[in-house]
Chain A
Amino acid sequence: QSALTQPASVSGSPGQSITISCTGTSSDVGSYNLVSWYQQHPGKAPKLMIYEVSKRPSGVSNRFSGSKSGNTASLTISGLQAEDEADYYCCSYAGSSTFDVVFGGGTKLTVL
């Protein structure tokens, strides 16, 4: 059982926007602005796409954006492209008294 809850799958057509949610608790997502998002293509290592809720690492397209409200964080991908099809994982710091770091179960994005 994953500590953070994500939808199993989302889909969208090229050019559209999609949003992936990541629901935690007041002990992790709700308490810290330390949510990160990772993109993983089949057979590859995860790649950091968003950190500290909404910051983009150098080299990541500005089509990727992050936000948070209460215990739920979100990843939005605008102008969907075929290469965005991948699995996406959220992650949150959870405090030193518990898991320290918790991941979501992952969301499969299909570009139709």
Chain B
Amino acid sequence: QVQLQESGPGLVKPSQTLSLTCTVSGGSISSGSYYWSWIRQPAGKGLEWIGRIYTSGSTNYNPSLKSRVTISVDTSKNQFSLKLSSVTAADTAVYYCARSTVIGDWFDPWGQGTLVTVSS
């Protein structure tokens, strides 16, 4: 079965760029019919969809984050990545990667999540 695992720095300084990678195992990221998404959750708060990428490289982003977000895919490594620029304390959250279907945007499976703290 497909499994996802996030990785990256747990601490990022304000104004810098947050970079995370999601490694997909148990299946090929290139197999069609799926989107690969990033979702975040500040402590004690709800889920916020950040954006998604298709293996063709086509992306969609949350309008509220669009100016700062880049999602990319590396099919040779079976990975996709998130970059969020000009971070502030408000970007402190647990970041999840997840797979969704092209026919209906339900997320399954999810990675375990990784906490990213923005602090100097």
Which residue numbers of A lie inside 8 Å of B, CB to CB? Answer: 2, 34, 36, 38, 44-48, 51-52, 57, 89, 91, 93, 96, 98-106
Query: How far does the alpha carbon of A105 sit from the alpha carbon of B104 in the complex, in Å?
Result: 20
Give me 29 A-to-B residue pairs in the complex whose CB atoms sit less than 8 angstroms apart, sorted by A's number.
Answer: A34-B105, A34-B106, A36-B106, A36-B107, A44-B112, A45-B96, A45-B111, A45-B112, A45-B113, A46-B47, A46-B96, A46-B107, A48-B107, A51-B104, A57-B108, A89-B47, A93-B104, A99-B49, A99-B62, A100-B49, A100-B60, A101-B37, A101-B52, A101-B100, A101-B105, A103-B47, A103-B49, A105-B46, A106-B46
Give A39 Cβ to nearest chain B Cβ, in Å: 11
Most buried by A among B46, B106, B112, B113: B106
Number of interface residues of B (CB under 8 A): 20
7 shortest A-B CB distances, which residue pairs? A51-B106, A36-B106, A48-B108, A45-B110, A101-B49, A103-B47, A106-B46
Residue numbers in B under 8 Å from A48 (CB-CB): 106-108
> Is B46's CB under 8 angstroms from A2's CB?
yes
Q: How many A-B residue pairs have CB under 8 A?
A: 63
Identity of the chain A residue whose Cβ is nearest the Cβ of B97 in the assembled complex: A45
> Is B46's CB under 8 angstroms from A104's CB?
yes
> Is B108's CB under 8 angstroms from A52's CB?
no
B26 within 8 Å of A (CB atoms): no
Residue numbers in A under 8 Å from B52 (CB-CB): 100-101
Identity of the chain B residue whose Cβ is nearest the Cβ of A46 in the assembled complex: B110
